Copies of this chain bind each other. A is one copy, B any other.
Amino acid sequence: MLLPNLRTQVFEANLDLVRKGLVLSTFGNVSGFARDEGLIVIKPSGVPYGEMKPEDLVVTDVHAKVVEGSLRPSSDLPTHAALYRAFQSFGGVAHTHSEYATAWAQARKPIPCFGTTHADFFHGTIPITEPMSDDDIAGEYEANTGAAIIGALDGMDPAAFPAVLVANHGPFAWGPDARGAVENAWMLEAVARSAHLTLGINPLAKAISVPLLDRHFFRKHGKNAYYGQAEIKE
Given A138-B211, A215-B141: A194 and B44 within 8 A (CB)? no
**How far, in Å, is A145 (CB) from chain B's closest CB?**
10
- What sequence of 0s and 1s flags, for each residue 135-147 of chain A, a beta carbon within 8 Å of any chain B beta carbon? 0011001000000
- What sequence of 0s and 1s flags, for each residue 91-130 of chain A, a beta carbon within 8 Å of any chain B beta carbon? 0000001011011111111000011110000000000000
Pick the residue among B45, B137, B187 that contacts A227 (CB under 8 A). B45
Alpha-carbon distance between A102 and B197 when the two chains are bound, in angstroms:
9
Is the beta-carbon distance between B72 and A229 smaller than 8 angstroms? yes
Contacts of A44 in B (CB 8 A): 229
Protomer copies: 4
Is the beta-carbon distance between B170 and A116 smaller than 8 angstroms? yes
Which of A2-10, A81-89, A174-182, A202-210 is found at the contact surface with chain B? A202-210
Contacts of A25 in B (CB 8 A): 187
Contacts of A206 in B (CB 8 A): 108
Counting chain A residues whose Cβ lies within 8 A of the other chain, the interface size class is: 35 or more
Pick the residue among B27, B190, B211 that contacts A117 (CB under 8 A). B27
Is the beta-carbon distance between A138 and B215 smaller than 8 angstroms? yes
Given A197-B196, A211-B138: A115 and B168 within 8 A (CB)? yes
Asked whether any CB of chain B lies closer than 8 Å to the CB of A50, the reply is no
Asked whether any CB of chain B lies closer than 8 Å to the CB of A156, the reply is no
